[in-house]
Structure 1
Amino acid sequence: MPSTMPLPNDGCTPAQAVALRSSRTVVTGAAGFLGSHLCERLIAYGSHVVGVDDLSTGRGENLAALDEADAFELLLHDVTLPFHVSGQVDYVFHLASPASPLDYGKQPVRTLVTGSAGTLNALTLAAQKQARIVVASTSEVYGDPLEHPQRESYWGNVNPVGPRSVYDEAKRYAEALTAAFGRTAQVDTAIVRIFNTYGPRMRPYDGRVVPTFIAQALAGQPLTVAGDGSQTRSLCFVDDTVSGLLALATSGEREPVNIGNPHEITVLQLADMIRELTGSASSITHTPLPADDPRRRCPDITRARQALGWTPLVDLSAGLSRTIDAARAATAGPALAGDAR
């Protein structure tokens, strides 16, 4: 049966809406936190979506809203293995990758192979279908940055053999491979560097700072702040990140683009904010700072504003409130493990 999801009111321009309507789109990592939100938005705009996921870190329940949508089909497949999608494809969004510290810490080799072989397979599909491809990179390519805020021209400060390197270098390689396909294989490529995104459907036990603090606050547990909490993060609500992905896909931009919210907050301030929004009496405890943890993280989004006409719309308090409401409504998951980063 057709999707009954309402058309989003998110600032999508008429030109973007027209480009997406009646398109056919492949989304790798479709059952993940970000991928599932992207699939829903694409279908709301009238795109037919083929989701690709092996459910190794994604969850089938993330796609529950699409169970009866004729415009969605799920291909259960590991993207590190070659795959084929029949028929026309207009856009490919390559989001597949372990993305949380807990996941890439447990699956270091798989993370690197997903960034290499998985990206090669997604780019090969785009080349075969003459589709525009958006490859998801990350603010982690900047490492522990010596430039602040981070512009796309900054080459980064990354430890190539540290514990975070499996994710950092997987994404840096994916960018290099995407750029090579764009230069030599006449593929219409785009690279998005996604800064910390949060929102409903984040797994409460994946070790990222927002779901960690929310889960701990709702359970009345101490909020575990790594180090003294003075390190900063810039948090972008998932709806805004999805809007940025769609704006990039429907543009002609070929250079890497930062998508994130330039509002910067310390981890300790974030912990206090979540305690207040949840009404929690949880205390705060401090744990050792993880190796290579970035001290400051904030995007310069000048290129996104100028080239895409994109800027985030959801302020942090509103986004956190929506995320907390969703966490309260969700079925309790396994006990949270790890420190908030």
Structure 2
Amino acid sequence: MKRRDFLTAAGAGVAASAAVAMPAIAQSAPEVKWRCASSFPKSLDTIYGASELMAKQVSDITDGKFQIQIFAAGEIVPGLQALDATQNKTVEMSHSASYYYVGKDPTFGFGTAVPFGLNARQINAWFLFGNGLTLMNDFYKKYGVVMFPGGNTGGQMGGWFRKEIKTVADLQGLKMRIAGIGGQVLAKLGVVPQQLAGGDIYPALEKGTIDAAEWVGPYDDERLGLYKVAQYYYFPGWWEGSAALNFFVNQEKLAELPKNYRAALTAAMAQANESMLASYDAKNPIAVQSLVKAGTQLRRYPSDVMDAAYKASHQLYDDIAAKNEDFKKVYEDMKAFRNNAYLWWQIVEFTYDDFMVRARTRG
């Protein structure tokens, strides 16, 4: 059938059946209600807001038949137990950060960020057009969940400190809130890492339970009020060249969804994934200026700290890979993807950004 004839026939069919077929389809669609446990407090509107956006889109696409209720950290389970709640079906899905669970297996780190890993565009490319998502979901099968990209913060800052860090020696004995494998690397440099959920960072820093803390970047850090209890704000966050957030869906619950609901969920999560990074890219430039006006002291990590951290990171990766086949498989693939990606970055992305930054400083 020619395209013109097809469209004519299709239009006639739709017109003739609209009064009957469309209501019948709507009436036959099942009502599904899910719960999603977030690892984040509502005050972090960009990260927490990604799960709200996802839920709204699912509802809109399914004409309200598929409803997902979002629960902030602590409302059903603590923020760092969102994955466990998904695994054991306390909730059908969660919005979290994979590297919160490196205590179970260090391979979890690759789902969010590892020190000196991929930037935001690179990890998205690795997930969607490389082997990243396939490799990670093969790993997540052990935990009964399927992962979908759930946002990205972009490049992160390197944390808030009560005192200046001038050499590696200044890190000795510091109690610092830091998640994921970055904490293990800093431990090699003398830091005592502490893993705390986002809502617990400010009181711990205020009371002196910790000496330093990293979270995300200017926008979120300002909202958490960290500048009020620590003066020095370091960059770059070498342990998170970007941080991918994750939607974890219980594998059995996902399989039970009607096909069109699975498609709606996938599309909604993809929109949330894209929206978060754009939001941070718009908000962080304004927030960092606000922080500086409030007295924050921006500091770049000294070269010897960066070099020591880079060396310690890769020594750690080699040690883990020698004992953990899952980690080795994902690490080798990510490393090869990173090397190719930075070849391209070196040619055009970096050179363009470098010129534009220098042009800006010249006015």
TM-score range for the pair, normalised by the shorter chain length: 0.3 to 0.5
Structure having the higher Rg: 2
TM-score normalized by the length of structure 2: 0.34
Question: Which has the larger helix fraction?
Answer: 2
Tell me which of the two structures has the higher relative contact order, counting C-alpha pairs closer than 8 angstroms and 6 or more residues apart. 2
